[in-house]
Amino acid sequence: MKRVLLTMPGQATLAESLCEQADLQTGLQAGQMELRRFPDGESYVRVLSDVKGADVAILCQLHHPDDKILPLLLLVSTLRDLGVRRIGLIAPYLAYMRQDKRFHEGEGISARYFARLLSQQVDWLLTVDPHLHRIHALSEVYSIPALALTAVQPIASWLRANIDKPVVIGPDGESEQWAARVAEATGCPYEVLTKERFGDRDVRVSLPHVDAWRTHTPVLVDDIISTGRTMLQAAAHLQAAGLCAPVCIGVHGIFAAGALAEMQAAGLRVVTSNSIPDVSNQIDLAPLLAQGLQHLL
């Protein structure tokens, strides 16, 4: 069975690392395609590899998803026309998971609509730490096999190799699911703060009992860093309580404009996985994704 990896533009670093890992474990080979814009802004798609009868995995890092979805759908249709056997989507960061309920009258529940759209297009989905809050499992909204891996072990390995005497801190109640498991996998203690959000950029964090951790290195762990407000508020709180500037680990560094610079200016060390390409990437998800592919291919 021919197995081909096609990579959406701008994602070559993770693709190379993934191909190295996955080639050994699943025989996945990098395929070639051309995806560019016509002068009028419409997308041009051409698959250069022979994919007839193949299992094709498309790597698409889905931050800024609106720019990527139409080219992705055009690619999927092209592949179907070319007679592929199955198409899977590797989206290490799964977009549109946060609008998971109707918060205000008239709003759309984008998480459900996006899941329905992808489920109609591809045969399986592989992702890492999707933002599961009110939706408890991807199977509630995706009707295709959808495997959600977790970056807990890669984060724990990074912590063991890089941080002396860490205490993992979840910046809010939702992050406890990562903080607790990362701490257990690392073999260190953890603490969870409580957070209230009053607006997109107005987040307030409550004081935990931090006295026990003054000799530790605080490590904030969350699934997503977007505006950076959650991390900045939590860090300010920890520092006001006498702890040193924390290391901030986000599985997915979405980084709204200026967010990373603001965090760095506040003296924070920011570390993310390569689910989204960024200068803060230090945690490689390729080995984890390659393991996941073994189940899906």
Question: Which residues contribute to the site for ligand R5P (CB under 6 A)?
Answer: 172, 174-175, 203, 222-230
Minimum distance from CB of 119 to ligand R5P (Å)? 24
Closer residue to ligand R5P (CB): 63 or 229: 229
Minimum distance from CB of 46 to ligand R5P (Å)? 37
Minimum distance from CB of 222 to ligand R5P (Å)? 5
Minimum distance from CB of 11 to ligand R5P (Å)? 22
Q: What tokens does 103 get? A: 């918060």
Closer residue to ligand R5P (CB): 71 or 250: 250
Closer residue to ligand R5P (CB): 124 or 255: 255
Q: Residue 242: which region, alpha, beta or left (left: phi > 0; alpha: psi -120 to 50)?
A: left
Closer residue to ligand R5P (CB): 3 or 229: 229
Minimum distance from CB of 218 to ligand R5P (Å)? 16
Closer residue to ligand R5P (CB): 130 or 166: 130
Integer-rounded Cα Rg, in Å, for the chain is 20
Closer residue to ligand R5P (CB): 118 or 270: 270
- What's the gap between Cα 104 and its chain centre? 27
Minimum distance from CB of 287 to ligand R5P (Å)? 24
